[in-house]
A and B are shown apart, each in its own frame.
Chain A
Amino acid sequence: EDKVVQSPLSLVVHEGDTVTLNCSYEVTNFRSLLWYKQEKKAPTFLFMLTSSGIEKKSGRLSSILDKKELFSILNITATQTGDSAIYLCAVDGGGSNYKLTFGKGTLLTVNP
C-alpha cells in the first residue's frame, strides 16, 4: 500500500520567517509528487515534481525532490499571513488509474 508521511503536522511561525515542510513516501512505482495548498476549500495545485534534484520555484515557494531518499521538501521564505493554510503532499504511485495518495498535511499558521 502506498504511504505518504508529512511533518510537522502543524507549525506556527511569525511573518518573515522561513519554513520547511517535509514529505516522505513509499510507493510501488513512483510517477510524480505533488504539493497542494488548501485554505478551507478545495486544494490548489502548487508544484509537480518528477525528477530528483531539480528545484521548482514560484515566488517565495520552492520545492525539491530526492528520489533516492524518497522525500521532498517545500520551502516558503519571508512568510506572510496569507500563507496560512494546510499544505498537502500527494504521490502518484504510477498505476494505470493515476491515483494520488495524500499525506495528512501540515497546518501552517503565520502570525503577524
Chain B
Amino acid sequence: NAGVTQTPKFRILKIGQSMTLQCTQDMNHNYMYWYRQDPGMGLKLIYYSVGAGITDKGEVPNGYNVSRSTTEDFPLRLELAAPSQTSVYFCASRGQGIVTGNTIYFGEGSWLTVV
C-alpha cells in the first residue's frame, strides 16, 4: 500500500515556465487536497477535490489549476511560474466516515524553486 505518492520531489523552474506536480493515492479516498508551505508558515490550502470530476478553490488558488479525472489522481498545474510560487507542496487525501475520515494522509512533499 503506497499511500499518497507525489512527483517530482525537487524541481527548479525558470520564471514563466509551466509544470505539473503529480499526486496519486491508492486508498480509494474521495477527498484530496493540495497545500503549500512557505518557510515559517503552516500549510495553506490551494485546491481540493471531494471526488472525481469535482474541484474547488482553497485559500491561495491564484496561479494554479487542478483536475480530478479519476479517484486516484489529482495533479496540480503551474501555468506561468513566478518566484512567489517557490514553496514546498504537499498533496494529501482522506477517507470518509467515522474511522477513516479523520486521518489525513500526506505525500512526501515537492520542493519547488522558481528562479
A residues in contact (CB < 8 Å) with B: 4, 6, 9, 31-32, 34, 41-43, 45, 48, 50, 88, 90, 92, 96-105, 107
Whole-angstrom distance between the Cβ of B85 and the nearest chain A Cβ: 19
Does B43 touch A at the CB level, under 8 Å? Answer: yes
List which B1-60 residues lie within 8 A (CB) of chain A: 31, 33, 35, 40-45, 48, 50, 56, 58
Contact indicator B103/A97 (Cβ below 8 Å): no
**Interface bracket on B:** 20 to 34
A45 CA to B94 CA, complexed, in Å: 13
Whole-angstrom distance between the Cβ of B42 and the nearest chain A Cβ: 4
Contact indicator A97/B107 (Cβ below 8 Å): no
CB-defined contacts of A32 to chain B, threshold 8 Å: 102
Contact indicator A96/B43 (Cβ below 8 Å): no
CB-defined contacts of A41 to chain B, threshold 8 Å: 108-109
A-B contact pairs, 20 of them (CB 8 A): A6-B42, A9-B40, A31-B102, A32-B102, A34-B104, A42-B90, A43-B43, A48-B102, A48-B103, A88-B42, A88-B43, A90-B42, A90-B43, A97-B31, A98-B94, A98-B96, A99-B48, A101-B45, A102-B42, A105-B41
